[in-house]
Chains A and B, each alone.
Chain A
Amino acid sequence: MRKGMPDDNGPEIEKYTLKAEKHDTKDLPEIEDKYKQAFLNVGYDPKGAERSGSFLQVDHSVLCSKVVQEGVEIMSTTDAIEKYSWLSDYWWHAVAPEKDVYTQQVDRKQTHGYFLRTLPGVRTTYPLQSCLFTEQDGLSQNVHNIVIAEEGSELHIITGCSVAEKVKSALHLGVSEFYVKKNAKITFTMIHNWAPEVEVRPRSGTIIEENGVFISNYVCLDQVKDLQMYPVTYCGKNARATSQSIIYASKDSKIDIGSKMVLQGENSRAEIISRTVAQDDADVTARGILTGSAANVKGHLECIGLMLSDTARIYSVPELEATVKDAELSHEAAVGRISEEEIAYLTARGLSEEEAAGAIVRGFLNVDIEGLPAALGEQVRQMIRMSAESLE
């Protein structure tokens, strides 16, 4: 196995069923009411307030694909490929279907997924929101998502994945392909909220054309059985890419997450930032690869971990690869515990040691997330606060 590539002794697809009970769109109000909090927790507002459109998939049923702003398209990818023959040019173009057993499974047994697109020059006023939700215990959800920002457009997306409280085990396979066309911009914020027995395999690829910008944020603060993802971003000429991950791993969560940025266009720039907290028996691998293969590219990788227990593990793997002489790549990786000096400082201001630790963890995870509406930014901070408060 090549260094940096995830070793996947992952979930067994056969353990999960593909037979999902069909949900009817007429049940939408009831479902929205029942799971309102679960949806809100991953950034999906059933009311659609301050959103330019919404997509909701529960199990294998697409219950909502609503467009609010003109020039924006939202639909199931299954419908999109029927509607647009040209979409085959994008289908499995940024991710290879034969990559692994999970992509193969999505290729063979796809169960919808979202197609989001902004037409040339269109800028979303508010973000689009999507939620992929599993309600049925033991189900495998195999989504294939395609996101396209056409030339000169700007597309902001908030997407959440979660499961109903009653779901004991589930498998989520998600292939996502992003296409940032010339002079376009995508900000993509993904919030995951899983359960102790859920296994997750997202597989993402992004292609950024000339002068394009791709900002990807990932937040996962709750327990998960086994999650592994390794999105790859290909940067064209003058492209900019940023990836930020905020991970709070607790109990016996196993998380292997990383980003790869391929700086293949001249003058392209990339930044990978990850903040990981490992508590209890959690096992986290935080990866990052920057590859510079074109003139005058620049990349920086920052991978910082905070250990809160003697039975957790953080394995940090930053990698840099340059194949041209004027590539400028750097990284900063650190794993440590909460500084005693910082705790002491906060206790001198009247906090208990536990409160001080909570405040420091919260601060550690509190990186600025670009592209979030104020209310959602506040909500993410609130989620971080709640995770950190579990220490108190």
Chain B
Amino acid sequence: MLEIKELDLEVDGRPVLKDLNLTIEEGESHVLLGPNGSGKTSLLLGILGFPKYQVTGGNIIFKGKDITGLSTAERVKLGMGIAFQHPPVIRGIRLGEMVNLCRGDKTQQISEQTRILAKKLHFSDEFLERDVNAGFSGGEIKRSEIMQLMAQDPDFVMLDEPDSGVDIENMELIGNMIGELLHRKIQPSKRTASGLIITHLATITDYIEVDWAHVMLDGMIACSGSPDRIISEVMKGGYEKCVRECQTTMDRK
């Protein structure tokens, strides 16, 4: 699904990712852990091709196609989607219209499909009339981002901290919906959607099982492995200790 090869990435002339390699197969879901400022969000936005994130070396291959030079819109058309951690307020565009847009429906009349989806995310019809992200609470932003993703229905799903600042009740709902987005509820051989999830405390893994975990440090993927092992190492001794352990094991091998 996604193959990142020796990627160097800059933001405003400042290097943020160095020689990064990552492969995500079809049907796989990965989590990405790491301290603040290690480059996790930059990686997601680089994959998505935001103009501010300049590739200075390496390639991004998506569905067998080199997309390194493509615009965000083109990448989205190929089947990428993202839930942002801090999305901007869009004045004058109602959430319901936005969900229509995500489905490629440009009519401003909020469609029945959108209303049905909103119910699933515990949003009322009135809520769909609100300007996108204007005055939304933390939990509402998470749910709204996931609702938009579900309307988009991408093959490759990126989620930037879907589990931070969310109360238990919302977390369960969000976990369920992400599970649906990532085909976690069907047998592995039938899964076609893949995912890359940034998570600070790995809370999301209490709700969905994932296939791989990576730890990012200083713009590099410093350590990868089975989620159980990596997450327990991180929880025990922090990111850096996990990376040290990881490297010793690898050296031994």
Residues of B within 8 A of A13 (CB): none
* Contact across chains for A342 and B92 when beta carbons are under 8 A apart: no
Instruction: Give complex CA distance A342, B92 in Å.
Output: 12
| Other-chain residue from B82, B84, B93 in contact with A359 (beta carbon distance below 8 A) | B93
Complex interface: chain A residues within 8 A of B92 (CB): 362-367
* Interface residue stretch chosen among A40-48, A91-99, A346-354: A346-354
A-B contact count (CB 8 A): 67
Most buried by B among A348, A350, A359, A366: A348
Residues of B with C-beta under 8 A to A339: 88
Contact of A342 among B51, B81, B90 (CB under 8 A): B90
Asked whether B98 lies within 8 Å of A348 as measured between CB atoms, the reply is no
Quick check: is A33 within 8 A (CB to CB) of the other chain? no
Size band of the B side of the interface?
Answer: 20 to 34
Chain B 142-159 interface 0/1 with A at a Cβ cutoff of 8 Å (1 = within)? 000000100010000000
Closest residue on chain B to residue A366 by CB atoms = B92
User: A344-B50, A344-B51, A381-B108 known; A349 and B90 CB under 8 Å?
Assistant: no
Contact A350 B71 (CB under 8 A): no
Q: Flag B38-60 by CB within 8 Å of A: 1 or 0 each.
A: 00000000001011100000000
Assess the A347–B91 pair: CB atoms within 8 A: no
Please, which residue of chain B has its CB at the minimum distance from the CB of A352?
A: B73
* Structural contact, A348 and B51, CB atoms closer than 8 A: no
Closest Cβ of chain A to B29, distance in Å, is: 20
The verdict on B241 contacting chain A, using a C-beta distance below 8 Å, is no
The answer to whether A350 touches B90 (Cβ under 8 A) is: no
Closest beta carbon of chain A to B159's beta carbon, Å: 13
Q: How many residues of A contact B (CB 8 A)?
A: 24
Inter-subunit contact B76/A350 (CB<8 Å): yes
Bound-complex Cα distance A342 to B71 (A): 16
Instruction: Name the residue in A350, A360, A364, A365 with the highest tally of chain B Cβ atoms < 10 Å from its Cβ.
Output: A350
Contact yes or no, A363 B93, CB < 8 A: yes
Whether B88 and A341, one on each chain, are in contact in the complex, defined by CB atoms closer than 8 angstroms, is yes
Could you mark each residue 80-118 of chain B with 1 if its beta carbon is under 8 Å from any beta carbon of chain A, else 0?
011010011011110000100110100010000000000
- Residues of B participating in the A interface, judged by any CB pair closer than 8 Å: 48, 50-52, 71-73, 76-77, 81-82, 84, 87-88, 90-93, 98, 101-102, 104, 108, 131, 148, 152
15 contacts between A and B (CB under 8 A): A344-B50, A345-B87, A347-B73, A348-B50, A348-B76, A348-B82, A350-B77, A351-B73, A351-B101, A352-B73, A353-B73, A359-B93, A359-B101, A363-B91, A366-B93
Query: Which residues of A are at the interface with B, using a C-beta cutoff of 8 A?
Result: 339-342, 344-353, 359-360, 362-367, 381, 385
